[in-house]
Amino acid sequence: GTFASRGAVVAGNAIHAASLAVRRKILDKASEELEADPEDLELVDGVVRVKGVPESAIPLGELARRANPMRGAVKPGTEPGLEATDYFGPERGATASGVHAMIVEVDPETMMVQIKRHVVVHDCGTVINPMILEGQVQGGVAQGLGNAFYEQLHWDDNGQLLNASFMDFLLPTADTVPHVEMDHVETPSPLNPLGIKGAGEAGAIPVAPLFAQAVEDALSDYGLEITEIPLSPNRLFELVTEARG
């Protein structure tokens, strides 16, 4: 599986290596067809052409047809087809980093918590797809909020789960997850050719402890030291009552 935030790191770099191999095969085959050195060729909009001579060109589809030994002659010693297989196994993981900041407001009567602002500055190395990355971090923040405020399993003395449905087991929803202000810092990882760092966990892991610290700060008049999650309103009432003595 792609656990340990390694999907882009491992698969991405394997794809990159295989793509470079295919590119080399394309240029080598095109150099035969166009009678030009590979260094003098360029790939533009699905066409291989001679630099500075755009009329001397061949579409990739036609090049692939000619590289197929069932369709055309292949030079001896040349691997047929425009395909390649490659592998990538990193010696060490490339972990993302970042900073989360949160402002919360706690109603002292109901102990309901409202997140007024959540800011993330995130560094996952080279960003491949900004839209997917933003969704990954936002989804992680939502998951972290679920751990911090909503999600908890309850069991009776006989080991029977008491909240086994979504009627009783609470989850964050679109109307309760705050807008996440986000920015990215790109510090390429030195551990792989693309400089990618895994981004799967950096959105979720900091949120729960940050939420607890923000609530603790909001209720600082009570001298709370919060060392647990989730922090439901009922649990906050209990903690405040205990702190009052």
Q: Between β-strands 97-106 and 113-123, what pairing exists: parallel, antiparallel or unpaired?
A: antiparallel
Q: Please say whether the beta carbons of 78 and 27 come within 8 A.
A: no
Note the pLDDT tens digit of each residue in 190-236: 999 999 998 878 888 999 999 999 999 999 999 989 999 999 999 99
C-alpha to C-alpha distance for 226 and 45, rounded to whole angstroms: 58
Q: Which CATH number fits domain 97-244: 3.40.50.11540, 3.50.50.60, 3.30.365.10, 3.20.20.70?
A: 3.30.365.10
What is the C-alpha to C-alpha distance for residues 37 and 53, in angstroms, rounded to an integer?
A: 13
With residue 123 as reference, give the H or E element that holds it: strand 113-123
* CATH of span 1-89: 3.30.365.10
In sequence order, the 6+-apart residues with CB closer than 8 A to the CB of 179 are 118
Which 8-state DSSP code applies to residue 178?
P
Given a contact cutoff of 8 angstroms between Cβ atoms, the answer to whether 125 and 186 are in contact is yes
The residue type at 40: D
219 CB-contact burial (10 Å; exposed 0-12 / middle 13-18 / buried 19+):
buried
Distance CA 202, CA 99 (A): 9
What is the tens place of the pLDDT at every residue in 43-85?
999 999 999 998 999 999 999 988 887 766 667 767 778 889 9
Q: Please give the Cα distance from 84 to 22 (Å, whole number).
A: 6
Q: What pLDDT, on a 0 to 100 scale, did the predictor assign at position 21? A: 94
Residue range(s) of every CATH 3.30.365.10 domain in the chain:
1-89, 97-244
Confidence of residue 155 (pLDDT cuts 50, 70, 90): very high
Phi-psi region of 240 (alpha: psi -120 to 50; beta: other; left: phi over 0): alpha
- Tracing tokens 């047809």 back to the chain, one arrives at 65
User: Average pLDDT of the chain?
Assistant: 90
| 151-152-153-154 Cα dihedral, nearest 10 degrees | -140
d(CA 40, CA 63): 17
The predicted pLDDT at position 73 comes to 62
pLDDT at site 1: 47
- Structure token pair of residue 71: 């369709």
Q: Spell 231-241 as b/e; 16+ CB within 10 A means b.
A: bbeebbeebbe
The CA radius of gyration of the chain, in Å to the nearest whole number, is: 28
Q: What is the pLDDT of residue 190?
A: 93
| DSSP code at position 84 | -
